[in-house]
Amino acid sequence: MEYNILIGGEAGQGMDTIGNLLEKTLKRCGFYVFTYKDYMSRIRGGHNFNQVRFSDKPLYTHSPDLDIIFALNEETINLHNSRLKQDGIIICDNDIAKGKEVMHLPLVEASKKVQDMRVYTTAGLGAILKIFGLPLDIAEGVIRDEFSGKIAETNIQAVRAGYEMIGVRHKLETREDKNIIINGNQAVAMGAIAAGCKFYCGYPMTPSSGVLTFMASKSDEMGIMVQQVEDEVAALNMALGASYAGVRAMTGSSGGGFALMVEALSLAGMIETPVVVIDVQRPAPATGFPTRTEQADLRFLIHAGHGEFPRMVIALRDPEDAFYQTARAFNIAEKYQIPVLLMSDEYLSDYTVTIKPYDFGKVKIERYISGPEAVEGEEYKRFKITESGVSPRILPGKVEGQVVLVDSDEHDEWGHITEGAEMRVAMVDKRMRKLEGLRQEIEEPWFIGKENPENLIVCWGSTYGAVREAVERLNGEGISIGALVYGDIWPLPTRRLMELYPKVQKLIDIEQNATGQLDSLIKEEALIRCSHKILKYDGRAFSGTEIYNRLKEEVL
Amino acid sequence: MEYNILIGGEAGQGMDTIGNLLEKTLKRCGFYVFTYKDYMSRIRGGHNFNQVRFSDKPLYTHSPDLDIIFALNEETINLHNSRLKQDGIIICDNDIAKGKEVMHLPLVEASKKVQDMRVYTTAGLGAILKIFGLPLDIAEGVIRDEFSGKIAETNIQAVRAGYEMIGVRHKLETREDKNIIINGNQAVAMGAIAAGCKFYCGYPMTPSSGVLTFMASKSDEMGIMVQQVEDEVAALNMALGASYAGVRAMTGSSGGGFALMVEALSLAGMIETPVVVIDVQRPAPATGFPTRTEQADLRFLIHAGHGEFPRMVIALRDPEDAFYQTARAFNIAEKYQIPVLLMSDEYLSDYTVTIKPYDFGKVKIERYISGPEAVEGEEYKRFKITESGVSPRILPGKVEGQVVLVDSDEHDEWGHITEGAEMRVAMVDKRMRKLEGLRQEIEEPWFIGKENPENLIVCWGSTYGAVREAVERLNGEGISIGALVYGDIWPLPTRRLMELYPKVQKLIDIEQNATGQLDSLIKEEALIRCSHKILKYDGRAFSGTEIYNRLKEEVL
Amino acid sequence: MTTKYEYKLYDQPAWCPGCGNYMIRTALKQALEELGLEPHQVVISSGIGQAAKMPHYIKVNGFNGLHGRALPPAIGIKLANKDLKVIVESGDGDSYGEGGNHFIHTIRHNIDIAHFVHDNQIYGLTKGQASPTTAMGQHTTLQFDGVKAEPLNPVALALTMGAGFVARGFSGDTPHLVNLMKEAIMYKGYALVDIFQPCVVWNRVNTFAWYKQRVYHLPDGYDYTNREEAMKKAMEFGDKIPIGILYKVEKEPYEDRFDFIKNGPPLVDRELNPKDVEKLLRDFV
Amino acid sequence: MTTKYEYKLYDQPAWCPGCGNYMIRTALKQALEELGLEPHQVVISSGIGQAAKMPHYIKVNGFNGLHGRALPPAIGIKLANKDLKVIVESGDGDSYGEGGNHFIHTIRHNIDIAHFVHDNQIYGLTKGQASPTTAMGQHTTLQFDGVKAEPLNPVALALTMGAGFVARGFSGDTPHLVNLMKEAIMYKGYALVDIFQPCVVWNRVNTFAWYKQRVYHLPDGYDYTNREEAMKKAMEFGDKIPIGILYKVEKEPYEDRFDFIKNGPPLVDRELNPKDVEKLLRDFV
Ligand SMILES: Cc1ncc(C[n+]2csc(CCOP(=O)(O)OP(=O)(O)O)c2C)c(N)n1
Ligand SMILES: Cc1ncc(C[n+]2csc(CCOP(=O)(O)OP(=O)(O)O)c2C)c(N)n1
Ligand code: SF4
Ligand code: SF4
Ligand SMILES: [Mg+2]
Ligand SMILES: [Mg+2]
C-alpha cells in the first residue's frame, strides 16, 4: 500500500503545522512516511505545498502521483489537479472552489465553533485520517505533544469535527511504530551534537538555517555555544578559534555564505585546525532560488580556497547517513587536523522521512588530543614534521609552561613565520602527506541494484533516494542496472568504479546541476567519461519516477 | 654576451633604487635586460636581492650564475658566493667583509664627500658600469629622469666617483635601444588603461598592489577612478556597480583577497555584468609567503563561486602578453557579459624585462553596448533570451524612459525575481550557451620548440620564460622537445594538444605548485595524463637553468 | 499620478499584507515624483531581504545585488555616472549586519548616495532571527532565550562616523517620510534615513502601535546643525523617539574631491582611445 | 625578569629599528608579568600586519590568523575556554579597515577580550597606504593626491557601539601603557586600547615627536564613568590629545549571560558522551 497526500495553499496558511501533525500521526500509526516540501522565498502569499507520502514499505523519495489534495485555496487545485490519480480525492473548505467537483467540507465552520480560525486545517487532518479509518487517539496524542493548553484542546476538537465530516475510503490497519521522523538539517545537527560539537556558529541563510536553529534550541540543555555571527566571514574564523582552543566546532551556510568562508578555509588548511563546515546547497549563482534545491557546488567546494591543502568533502545521502557522516566528520577532522566539508541541499534539508532511531552506541568520539608527552625538547612544536603529516596536538592552556602557536604565514615546526625555501617544501609536503592517510579513510560509494550491471549510474548525495527507487523499479522489470552513490566524494574513491567499469555498457551520470560535475571529477580522477548524463537544474528535486522515466526515455 | 649582476642587502638599503637605475642604464645602452627580485615580507632588515641579467639577445628569465655581486652587507656574500662564476667579481664597500677576497671600494667615503649617505649605492653603480666600459652619460640621463634637483646632482657625483674607482674588465659596445622595460603589474595596468578601464578598485595586497599603485598614479592624468576599498568583499561588488553603470571596471588582489571576492564573482555570473579581475598569486594557503611566487590558484579560480556560470580564465605569460591579454579581457568580458579572470603571480608581477614598446594600434576597444534600438516592446529586457546567450545591453540612464534592472535572484528576461521552473531552465541554458561562443574565442596555447616533438611540455602563465630558455637549450643539443604554454586556460583549449599527442612519448607537466593543477585539468578535459611532472613550490621561481637541469635529471 | 514608477508587467510585491514596506514604497514613489525625477535618471541599489526587493516594485534602474552588499555597487554606480541619482534600499540586517563594514566606510567617504534602511529590527526574509537592531532580551525564532547583545544605534553610529545627513523616519508617517526622502535624495553627499518599518509577522515587539506610541517629530526650532544635540536625540530610543532630520550640514561630496570627476563629463561618457595611452610609455624607457 | 615570555628559539622581531611596536611589546610583557599571568594562561589572537606579528615575539599561546580577522577567533577561543585570558593584538588596518564589521559587532556582544590596536595611522606591512585612521589630505604611497576620506575615530566609535572600557595609549609612554594594558586585561568584558604607534618608515606625519607634543594624561579627577564626558575626550584629536582610560563602567560580560557557561566548567573541559544525546530523539517520535 502507498498513498500520497498534498496539502497546498499560501505561505502563512499553516501548511507546515498540518503537514507535521499528519506525518507524525501516520508515523505513529506505524507507516513509513516521506514528506516533501515546496515553498517560495516569501513569508506570506505565493504558493507552497507539502506532499506527505506514506506506505507500509520504506520510502526514499517523493512521488508525483497524488491520492488526496487538501486545498487551502483554489490555486492549489488548479496547479495540482493534473497529478491526481484516477480515484483521487480533493478536499477543501465549503467556501473554496465553489462549483468544482471536489469534496467540500465545513472546515471553517468547525473552526468557528471552537472560536479559533487557525484550526480549520486541523479539521482537514481529521477528515484525511478518516479516509483511511485511522484511530483518532493517535492524532490527539500528537497534538498534545506539539501544543499545550487551550490550543491543544481546540485542535483536538477540530480534528474530531473533521473526522465526523466524511466516511472511510481505504481502511488501513495500524502497525507497530519503531521509527523516528526527521529531516536532513535536524539529522546533521543531531550528528554534530552526538559527536560532542560544543560550538556552532552561523548566519541565517535558507536552507541551512535549520541546522543553526536546531543547535540553538538545544544550546542550554546540551551546553553548546551557539552564535549568530555578524557575517559568514566571521563564522569560520570564529569556529577555528574555538577549535584551536579545543572544542569541536562547526559552522555552516548555503553556497553564498560558504563563498564568504573561502579565505578562512584556506586558513584552516594552513593552521591545521580541525573544523566541520556544511554547505546546504541551493540553486545559484548568487542569490538564485533561496528555497529550492540543486547540487552545483561540488567542484567549488573541492577547490575552494587559495593554495593547496588537504580537505575532505562528504556528500550526505539521507537523514540516516547525514547523522553518522556528520559525527564521523568530526573524527576525521581531528584525526587529520583538516577541514571536513559536508554537502547537503535544500531537498535533503527539508524533506522529512521515517528512519530507524539513531544508534548512539555506534557514534565514537575520537579526539587525538595530546598532553605533556607530546612536548619534545623545551618548546612544543605545533607543526612537528611527521611521517603521517599529522603533528601531535596539545591545547592552549592545558600543558603548563607550554604554549600553542598557529600561524597563517608559512611557518616552521614551532609555528613561527619562516621564509625559508626548504622549510616551505617540508611544510607543504607534510600537509599534503595527510592525503595518503585520508585516502585510506575514504569509503567507497554505496552500490545499489543488480550486481555487475550493464547500466551503471553514478550519483552523489541527496539524489540517492530517487535513484534507489528508480533502480529498484527497473531491476523489478529485469533491467540490468545499478548505481554507485557517492558519499565520500573528495578525495574521490575510484576502486569500485574501476571494478565495475569493464562490464558496463552505459555509464550514466545523474545530478542536480547543469554541467555534470561528478562526471568531470570522474574524468579527472579515473580518466573515464560518462556516456550519458541525466541532469536537472530547475530547482525541483528529482523524484524516483522522474529518474525512472528519463532513464527509459534517454538511456535504456 | 650575457652578464648577471646581483645586488644584495637588507630591506631599506635601497636595492630597488639601484637596481632600477642599473637596469634602465643597461637598457638605454641597448641591451636586453631581465631583473629578478627576491625580497622578504618586512620593511627593514632581512635579506633581499635583485639580479640584473643583460645580454645582446632577448632574455626571458633569470639565471642562477652570477658575474658580479654588489654586496651591501656581508651576508650577501655568504649567501650568494657559491653562485659566482669562476671569473666573477664581488664588489662592496671598504668596511664590509673585511679580510675577504673581494673588491673593496671606497663607496661610503664617496657618499660622505657629497654629504648624502644614501648615494653610496649609486657609487657602486658607477663601478659596475665601468667594469663594462659603458658610457657614463647614459647613466646620468637615467638619474636625471628618476630624480630631480639636488638629489639628482649628488647621485651623479656618486656615479662618477664610482666610475673612477675601478678599471674596465669586459668592454662592451652600446647598441641601439628600441625597447621599454616593464614589470608584469605595470603591464597589466597599462593594458587596462589602454583598454579604457575607468574604474579600478582594490585593497593593498602583495604582490598585487603594484597594479593598484600604477593605476592610482595615472588616475588624474587619465581620468580613472581608483578606489582603495575597505575590504575585498567591497571591491568586486563595487567594480560590478561601476560596470553596470557603463564603465570598464576592474579589481584585483592576490589569492587571499580574491577568496573574499568569490561570492561577488557568482553575482557577476548571475547579473551578467562584465568585469575583469586579476589574481596575482603568491604561495598559500592563507597568508603563506607574501613576497614569493606560486601558481596554485588555478583550480580555485576555475571553480570559484557557488553555482554554475561561464567565465574565462587567462594566464599571463610575460609583460608583453600581459598587456595585450588584459586589454583583450575587457573586450571578452563585454562581448559575453561575463567575468574574465586574469592570473599572474609574484614572479611575473615583479620581474622587469625589456620588450618592444606596446603597439597601441593593435588594441581595439569593442564595447557591445546598445542604444534604444535594443528595446523591444514597452520595457527593456536586460536578460532577453537569445541564441548566443548574450542579451543586448543598454546602460542605466542612457535610454530615456527605459530602466535597467539586474537581479541576483533567478529572474525573468526583465530582471524580475522568478521562481518558475521553466524560466530557471531557460536562464541557466541562456547563460551556459555563452560557453559555446567563448570556446570559439579561446586561443590555443603558444607552441615553442621543435615541431612535433617527442617530448612535450605543458605549462602555463609565467613559467613561459624559463621553459622557453630550457627548450631552446635542449633543442640546441638536438633533443626533440617542445612546449605548449597555456595563456587561455579556461575553457581549456585542447586542439593543439590532441594534434601533437599521438607523436608524444613523454608528456611533461611543469608548474609552480605541489599538485600539478594543469595536469588535473588536462585529465579532465582531454582524458590525457601527463607522464611526468616537474613541480616546484618553494616560493622561488623556476629559472631556465633549473628546468633544463630537472628535465635532464628526471625526464630525458 | 506615480504610475510612471510602476512596472507594466510586475507590480505585485511579495510582502505580507500590512507590512510597513508598502508605505515606504508609496513614500519613495511620491518623493521621486515630487522631485521631478524620471525613472531612467534614478538607480536603486539593494542587497537581499524583504526591504531589498524594492527595485522590483518601483520602476527605476535597479541593481539588486548580494545580501549585505547594497552600498559598494552604489558607490561604483555613482562614481561611474555622477548624473544618476543613486538610492540604496536595504534592511537592518543587510546594512548594519552583513554589510556593517561598508556602512561605516561609505560614511567616511561621503559619496552622494541616499541610504534608506527599512529598520524592522528583525531578519524578515529568513524568518525572524535577531538583527543588529533587535532589542536585548527580545525572544526570536533563533534567540530562544532572548537576544544577548546590545542593539546597534544606527543614527548614533552614522553621526560618530561623520555623516553629514542623518535622519530617522517612520513608515507609519508617510508625509513626514516623503519629506525626509526628498531631503536625503537632494542632499549632496551621503545621507542616511533609518526608517522604522514594522514587520507584522516576526517582530511582535516593535509593532505599528509600539512605534506610534513613541515617535514624535523633532520640534520646529530644532537645530539640526548642532552635532552634540543630534547625538543626544540619536540616543533617545525609549519611551520617546524623535523622528526627522537629526543632523544636516554641508560637506563636500567625495566625487567633488577629484578634479577630473568634478570638472568633466561622467566617466561613462568619456571617449576611449588606446592611442591616448601611448604617452604613458615614458615611464618605461 | 620577563624572560618567561621570550621564545628560546625565535625572538628577533622583523620590525624596523625605532618602530613603536617594540615599546608596545615591552609594555605588554611587563603588564603580563605584573598581573602574574603564566604564558600558557594567555592567548594572543592577531590578524596580519606589522602589529599582528606580536604572537611571534611574546611567548604566550598565539593564533596568528588572517588579515582583518583577529577578533572572531578571539571570540571562539574565549567561549571555548573561559579560563584563558584573551588578548587581541592588531593594527589599525586590521581592526578598523578589513575587520571593521567584526569590530563593531564584537563590541555589541561585550565578550571578555582585551583589544590592543597598534594605531600607526598607516598600512605598515604593505608599504604605506592610507589606513582608516590616516588624516584626510595626507599623502601616502598610494594616495598620491592625498587621502580623500575622513579618518575614523576608533575610541568614539567604540563608545557609540557601547563598549564598557575604552582607552587611548601611546607607545612612547610605556609606564602609562602598562597600566592601561593591565586594566584592560583585568576588565570583565570587551576593552579597547587604541595605542598610538609611530611608524618610522611610512608615516612621516604622525611621528614620535608629533604625538609627544600632543598627548596629555587625563587629569586626576577625570570621571571615566561619564559617557558624555568620555565622548568629548574621544573627539579631542587635534593639538591636544588625551590618553588614558576614557571610559570604564561595569557591564555583564557576554559569557555570563549564559547559565551553562557561567555556572559550569569551560566548554573545553566537558565530558563528551554520545549516549547523553539519545534523549533528544524525543523531538522525532
Ligand atoms: C551571504 C548571505 N548570507 C545570508 C543570506 C540570507 N539572508 C537573506 S535576507 C537576510 C536577512 C534579511 O534581514 P534584513 O536585511 O533586515 O531584511 P528584511 O527581510 O528584514 O527586510 C539573510 C540573512 C544571504 N542571502 N546571503
Ligand atoms: C585579505 C587580505 N587583504 C590584504 C592583505 C595584505 N595586508 C597585509 S597587512 C595589511 C595592512 C596592514 O596594516 P595594519 O593592519 O595597519 O598593520 P601595520 O602593518 O600598520 O601594523 C594588508 C593590507 C592580506 N594579508 N589579506
Ligand atoms: S516578513 Fe515582515 S518585513 Fe517581511 S514582508 Fe512580512 S511583514 Fe514585511
Ligand atoms: S613599517 Fe612602520 S610599523 Fe612596520 S615595523 Fe617598520 S616602522 Fe614599524
Ligand atoms: Mg530587517
Ligand atoms: Mg597600521
The arithmetic mean of pLDDT across residues B89-101, rounded, is 93
Which is it for the CA torsion C50, C56, C57, C59, positive or negative? positive
Number of Cα atoms under 13 Å in the Cβ half of residue C93: 27
d(CA B235, CA B174): 47
> CB A539 to CB B424 under 8 A?
yes
Q: Which ligand approaches the C-alpha of residue D121 most closely? A: 6
Q: Is the CB of C202 under 6 A from ligand 3?
A: yes
Residue nearest to ligand 1 atom 9, measured at CA: C49
In this prediction, residue A91 has a pLDDT band, given cuts at 50, 70 and 90, of very high
Q: Does pLDDT of A307 surpass 70?
A: yes
Using pLDDT thresholds of 50, 70 and 90, give the confidence band for residue D9: confident
**Measured in angstroms, how far is the CA atom of residue D236 from the centroid of ligand 6?**
21
- Ligand 1: atom nearest CA of C52 is 21
What's the pLDDT band for A268 if we cut at 50, 70, 90? very high
Burial (0-12, 13-18, 19+ Cβ within 10 Å), B539: buried
Q: Search chain D and give the residue with CA nearest C163.
A: D150
Q: What is the Cα–Cα distance from C282 to A373, expressed in whole angstroms?
A: 65
DSSP string, A456-524: EEEEEGGGHHHHHHHHHHHHHTT--EEEEEESEEESPP-HHHHHHGGG-SEEEEEESSSS-HHHHHHHH
Name the pLDDT band for B285 (thresholds 50, 70, 90): very high
Q: Strand pairing partners for C42?
A: C85
Nearest to D118 by CA among D56, D175, D60, D181: D181
pLDDT averaged over every residue in chain A: 97
Whether residue A230 and residue C48 make contact (CB cut-off 8 A), yes or no, is no
Cβ D124 under 6 angstroms from ligand 4: yes
How large a percentage of chain B has pLDDT more than 90? 97
* Percent of chain D at pLDDT exceeding 70: 99
Check if C145 contacts A (Cβ < 8 Å): yes
**Could you tell me the sign of the dihedral formed by the alpha carbons of B226, B228, B233, B234, in that order?**
negative
pLDDT, tens digit (0-9, with 9 covering 90-100), for D93-115: 999 999 999 999 999 999 999 99
**What is the number of the ligand 4 atom nearest to the C-alpha of D51?**
3
Instruction: Indicate yes or no: CB of D126 within 8 angstroms of CB of B286.
Output: no
Pocket test residue of D202, D203, D211 for ligand 4, highest count of atoms within 8 A of CB: D202
Q: Is the pTM of this model over 0.90?
A: yes
Cβ-based neighbours of C204, under 8 Å, separated by 6 or more:
none
Q: Which of A306, A407, A427 to mutate to test the interface with B (most CBs of B within 10 A)?
A: A306
Nearest Cα neighbor of D106 from D69, D53, D81 is D69
| Alpha carbon A208 to its chain's center | 9
pLDDT digits (tens, 9 = 90+) for B398-451: 999 999 999 999 999 999 999 999 999 999 999 999 999 999 999 999 999 999
The pLDDT of residue D256: 97
CA nearest neighbour of D191 among D117, D137, D126: D117
Q: What's the CA gap between C142 and A203, in Å, rounded?
A: 11
Ligand 4 pocket mutation, candidates D15, D48, D122, criterion most atoms within 8 A of CB:
D15
Q: What pLDDT does residue C2 have?
A: 58
Please name the residue whose Cα sits nearest to atom 4 of ligand 3.
C124
The C-alpha atoms of residue C189 and residue D150 are separated, in whole angstroms, by 13
Compute φ and ψ for B195, nearest 5 degrees. -80, 0
**Mean pLDDT in residue range A380-401:** 98
For D260-270, write each residue's pLDDT tens digit.
999 999 999 99
**Which of B203, B206, B232, B233 maximizes ligand 2 atoms within 8 Å of its Cβ, making it the mutation to test the pocket?**
B203
* Per-residue model confidence as pLDDT tens digits over B258-280: 999 999 999 999 999 999 999 99
CA distance to partner chain C, nearest, from residue A206 (Å) = 7
Nearest-CA residue of chain C relative to B227?
C76
Mean pLDDT, residues A418-422 taken together: 96
Cis ω before A453 (30° cut-off from 0): no
Q: Which of C139, C144, C188, C180 is closest to C164 using CA atoms?
A: C188
Compute, in angstroms, the gap from residue C15 CA to the centroid of ligand 3.
Answer: 6
CA distances from A556 to A465, A529, B318 (A): 20, 18, 51
Q: Is D49 on the interface with B (CB under 8 A)?
A: no
* Nearest-CA distance C26 → chain D (Å): 32
Residue owning grid cell 593594527: D91
Helix axes B15-28, B136-146, angle to 10 degrees: 130
Cα gap B409→B419, rounded to integer Å: 9
Q: What is the percent of chain A with per-residue pLDDT over 90, rounded to a whole number?
A: 97
Report d(CA C139, CA C129) in Å as an integer.
9
> What local confidence, expressed as pLDDT, does residue C8 receive?
85
In chain B, residues with a C-beta closer than 8 Å to the C-beta of C40 are: 396-403
What pLDDT shows up at residue C3? 84
Are D148 and C101 a contacting pair at CB < 8 A? no
CB-count burial class (<10 Å; 0-12, 13-18, 19+) for B526? middle
pLDDT tens-digit series, residues C37-87:
999 999 999 999 999 999 999 999 999 999 999 999 999 999 999 999 999
Beta bridge partners of D243: D217
Task: Summarize the confidence of residues B38-67 as an average pLDDT.
Answer: 96
What percentage of chain D exceeds 90 in pLDDT?
Answer: 97
Residue B366, pLDDT > 80, answer yes
Q: What is the pLDDT of residues B473-506, one digit of tens each?
A: 999 999 999 999 999 999 999 999 999 999 999 9
Residue B41: which region, alpha, beta or left (left: phi > 0; alpha: psi -120 to 50)? beta
Angle at which helices D100-109 and A232-245 cross, to 10°: 60
* pLDDT mean by block of 10 residues, chain C; 285 residues: 80 92 97 98 98 97 98 98 98 98 98 98 98 98 98 98 98 98 98 98 97 97 96 96 98 97 97 97 97
My answer on whether omega of the bond before B285 falls inside 30° of 0, hence cis, is: yes
User: Please, which pLDDT band fits residue D12 given cuts at 50, 70 and 90?
Assistant: confident
**Chain position carrying cell 554589510:** C99
Instruction: Kindly give the pairing relationship between strand A32-38 and strand A45-55.
Output: antiparallel
- Is any atom of ligand 1 closer than 6 Å to the C-beta of C91? yes
pLDDT (tens digit, 9 = 90+) per residue, A438-465?
Answer: 999 999 999 999 999 999 999 999 999 9
If 0-12 CB within 10 Å is exposed, 13-18 middle and 19+ buried, where does residue D39 land? buried
If you ran DSSP here, which 8-state letter would residue C98 be given?
I
Of B40, B205, B216, the CB nearest to D144: B216
Q: Is B472 helix (H, G, I), strand (E, B) or coil?
A: helix
Q: Is the CB of C194 under 6 A from ligand 1?
A: no
Q: Which three cell numbers stand for residue A460?
A: 552523489
What ipTM does the predicted assembly reach? 0.98
Window D:54-73, CB contacts with A under 8 Å: 55-56, 59-66, 69, 71-73
Tell me which chain C residues have a C-beta less than 8 angstroms from the C-beta of A224: none
Taking Cα atoms as reference points, which of A457, A451, A449, A453 lies closest to residue A475? A449
* pLDDT surpasses 80 at A113: yes
Cβ of D126 less than 6 Å from ligand 4: no
First to last CA, chain B: 28
* pLDDT of res. D2: 58
Distance from residue C92's CA to the centre of ligand 1 (Å):
9
